Amino acid sequence: MNTRLTLSLLLAVGLGLSACAKKAPEVLPPDPGGTPAATESAGGDTGAPTPGSQADFVAQMMGQDTIYFDTDRYNIDATDQQALAMQAQWLMKYPAKRITIEGHADERGTREYNLALGERRANAAKNYLVSLGIEPGRISTVSYGKERPVALGSDEASWQRNRRAVTITVD
């Protein structure tokens, strides 16, 4: 199931993936998601997360679980496309996994508009994943508007980090 043509196509995009499939530790916790053989999973250096888990997703994405937007925008640019392609690859590897995409906005918008804007951003990410072949039914979205910033400053650098869509896997 993880040897789809699309997968190799995605790899061909040249994402600089850390595709080095290390041997997983001998003893692993039960796999929650009915995922492929553990040996397929590239873990961290030590104490590799359970393949197919959220920790595994975060480790594999290396920051690419989040995409960023310009002020008031929701378009998927080339950088976002690379990140979402990486996410899609992981999702094809673990087809039983579902995800939630959280859409966020920076604090420099009004509250209600930002709720709608976060939803629009999450949907833009969802639509792109669907265009890469991920089943829409596996993807839900939720907007937190400006209510859950990760960067706490009131400056452009912080706002950039907060205008984001974060993919989180659901067991």
Partner 1 sequence: MKKLIPFLIAAAMPASALLAQDAAPQPTAAEVEEDVVGTLDANDARIAIPAFATNADVPTQTSAGSTSTLGFQIANVIFGDLRNNGLFKPTGPSALPRPALSQVQAPDYGGWRGRGADMLVQGYVRAEAGGNVTVGCYLYDVALGQQTAKAGWTVPPGEWRRAAHKCADMVYSRLSGENPFFDSRVAYIAETGPKNRRMKRLAIMDSDGANHRYLTTGQATALTPRYAPDYKSILYLSYYNGQPRIYIYDLTTDKQRLLLQSSNPLFAPRWSPDGKWILYSMAIGGNTDIYKMPSAGGAAIKLTDAPGIDIGGSFSPDGNRIVFESDRSGSQQVYVMNADGSGQKRISFFGGRAATPEWSPRGDQIAFTHIAGNFRIAVMDPGGGNLRYLTDSWQDEAPTWAPNGRVIQFFRTTRGSGKTGVWQVDLTGKNERKLETPVDGSDPAWGPLRP
Report the b/e string of 68-77 with b at 16+ CB within 10 A: bbeeeebebe
User: Quick check: 117 binds partner 1 (CB under 8 A)?
Assistant: yes
Take residue 85 and report the two structure tokens written for it: 């392609």
User: Quick check: 67 binds partner 1 (CB under 8 A)?
Assistant: no
59 and 45 Cβ atoms separated by less than 8 Å: no
Q: Nearest approach, Cβ of 159 to partner 1 (angstroms)? A: 12
- The structure tokens 């996994």 sit at 97
Angle between helices 78-93 and 54-61 (to 10 degrees): 140
Q: Which of 35-43, 54-62, 77-85, 122-130 is the region at the interface with partner 1 (rule: CB under 8 A)?
A: 122-130
Kindly identify the residues of this chain, within the stretch 144-163, that bind partner 1 according to CB under 8 A: 147-150, 152-154
CA–CA separation, 23 and 32 (whole Å): 19
User: Quick check: 124 binds partner 1 (CB under 8 A)?
Assistant: yes
Q: Which of 7-15, 25-33, 83-91, 121-129 is the region at the interface with partner 1 (rule: CB under 8 A)?
A: 121-129
User: Quick check: 122 binds partner 1 (CB under 8 A)?
Assistant: yes
Give 92 or 122: the residue with its C-beta nearer to partner 1: 122
CA–CA separation, 104 and 38 (whole Å): 34
Q: Which of 52, 61, 46 is nearest to 31 (CA)?
A: 52
Kindly identify the residues of this chain, within the stretch 7-46, that bind partner 1 according to CB under 8 A: none
Provide the binding-site residues for partner 1, judged by CB under 8 A: 72, 74, 107-113, 115-117, 119-124, 127, 142-143, 147-150, 152-154
